[in-house]
Amino acid sequence: MTPIPTAAGRRRRIFVPQPTAPLPPAPPPLPDPPIYRDLVRAWADRGRTLPGRHDPEWVRLAAPFPGLGLFSDSRDPRRDGR
pTM of the model: 0.34
Q: Are 2 and 14 in contact (CB under 8 A)?
A: yes
d(CA 23, CA 25): 6
Q: CA–CA distance from 73 to each of 32, 63, 81 (Å)?
A: 49, 21, 11
The pLDDT of residue 2: 57
Indicate the residue type of 39: L
Question: What rounded mean pLDDT belongs to the chain?
Answer: 76
Q: Mind listing the pLDDT tens digit for each residue in 2-24?
A: 556 656 667 778 888 777 888 88
Q: Which has the higher per-residue pLDDT, 76 or 61?
A: 61
